[in-house]
Structure 1
């Protein structure tokens, strides 16, 4: 069975999310080394910007999971390879931030969330879009709908509604509510598939054009860029700090 062709619009959307992520982390590093005012990243605007970036990646991952099945059943080998890459990358982030950030290391960040969502998402592939959408909306609303006294153990922080005191973390993207964003992305893709509009969307941008290839390439390698960009930015700003005295 031929592989489902990539949709350039989705790849370019992921590229835009990567650009936003680089801007965010570069500003974080500037504040860390004294080039930006202290408290910059704690402002409401930057916190909303960070949530928007995370939401974009998670939503697009939900869309991509559905697109991967448009030509037939989910390719098991490719799916398992992606799961393994996500698991290794998430472990690398946890270990790396443990040594770099100490107690503020990443216990359950966006890569951990994407790994868990990729495990759970296939359960909704055969569901009608309205059920996937409703499930996503409920998960988004769960933190505001009830108290969760039985989730009082900090070891359950990956769920997202624990009432235990939370340690400081440089990245925290729990299942609740972020799995809801993933499911809403799936629902959007399922609705488009039901309406038969994916060929129209794929035809909006010719993926063979040089500009489209250039804009799509980062989005096609988002995991590698995610892992590499921050060490590069951190090192560059650190070097600038040394040169600036």
Structure 2
């Protein structure tokens, strides 16, 4: 079945390992958001701020996604930046980010997303462009941003609005993860693994190729599932 699906996909110079990492990140994201939605409807009891596991879990997901962004930048724009594809990608990301902001402002005005994952990926991609040819500098700056954040739980609130957001991903320190991905691409990390015949790895690879569309639709679906479960199970 997996082979049949892959035959229908357009062939391109993609990295199987990169898609597998991205697909694994998507799986973790779905697990986290399902848990988050179940918690909203009091179907589970999770303290996402005080429980160390649930505090670290989403940050690992963001780290993996932004690390993949850096690898993708290196693959796509070495040895020279391809401005037209870059512009098209940024326009898509910015358009989708604005759509998410507008939709969440309408549906959840007290917690709308004013600078979420897609907003940050677009900005961090632009910020990382000058460092694409410089792997060692990317490594130094990336570690310089990420290590203090991990140790001190530092996340610069570079946009200040008088309310929490459903999804807030600051470019600092997360542009550091993009730079670490750039360094990894210079070491040709994406070539470590070729295509695999293992079912789960193939499934992750396919998931990674469609990460953006899954990102856009998964939360409304999961939220609806949690809502229906809540209707079926009365409060106690």
* TM-score interval, smaller chain: 0.7 to 0.9
| Alignment partner, residue 177 of structure 2 | 181
* Count of paired positions: 218
| Alignment partner, residue 136 of structure 2 | 130
Q: Does structure 1 residue 241 correspond to structure 2 residue 220?
A: no
**Cα displacement (A) at 1:160:** 2.6
Pick from 94, 97, 100: which aligns with 2:101?
94
**1:173-228 CA-partner distances (Å, limit 9, x unpaired):** 111111111111111212x14xxx654x2xx3326x58354331110111111010
Normalising by the residue count of structure 1, what TM-score does the alignment of the two structures yield?
Answer: 0.79
Deviates more, 1:97-106 or 1:164-173: 164-173
Pick from 19, 25, 30: which aligns with 2:33?
25
Pick from 220, 230, 234: which aligns with 1:231?
220
Mapped contact 1:4–1:68 kept (Cα < 8 A): no
Mapped contact 1:133–1:187 kept (Cα < 8 A): yes
Change (3 A) 1:56 1:166: farther
Q: Does structure 1 residue 58 correspond to structure 2 residue 66?
A: yes
Correspondences of 1:157-236 after superposition (within 5 Å): 160-162=156-158, 167-190=163-186, 192-193=187-188, 199=191, 201=192, 204-206=193-195, 209=197, 211=199, 212-236=201-225
Mapped contact 1:83–1:115 kept (Cα < 8 A): yes
Q: Match of 1:214, SS?
A: helix
Q: Match of 2:101, SS?
A: helix
**Cα displacement (A) at 1:142:** 7.2
Change (3 A) 1:239 1:165: closer
Structure 2: unaligned runs, 5 residues or longer:
1-10
Mapped contact 1:141–1:177 kept (Cα < 8 A): no
Q: For 2:160 and 2:12, locate their aligned partners in 1 and report how far apart those are by CA, in whole Å.
A: 44
| Alignment partner, residue 6 of structure 2 | none
Q: For 2:117 and 2:123, locate their aligned partners in 1 and report how far apart those are by CA, in whole Å.
A: 10
**Cα displacement (A) at 1:66:** 0.5
Q: For 1:163 and 1:85, locate their aligned partners in 2 and report how far apart those are by CA, in whole Å.
A: 22
Normalising by the residue count of structure 2, what TM-score does the alignment of the two structures yield?
Answer: 0.82
Change (3 A) 1:210 1:137: closer
Q: For 2:161 and 2:102, locate their aligned partners in 1 and report how far apart those are by CA, in whole Å.
A: 22
Structure 1: unaligned runs, 5 residues or longer:
145-158
Mapped contact 1:17–1:57 kept (Cα < 8 A): yes
Q: Taking CA–CA contacts closer than 8 Å with sequence separation of 6 or more, which of the two structures ends up with the larger relative contact order?
A: 2
Q: Match of 2:110, SS?
A: helix
Q: For 2:74 and 2:171, locate their aligned partners in 1 and report how far apart those are by CA, in whole Å.
A: 19
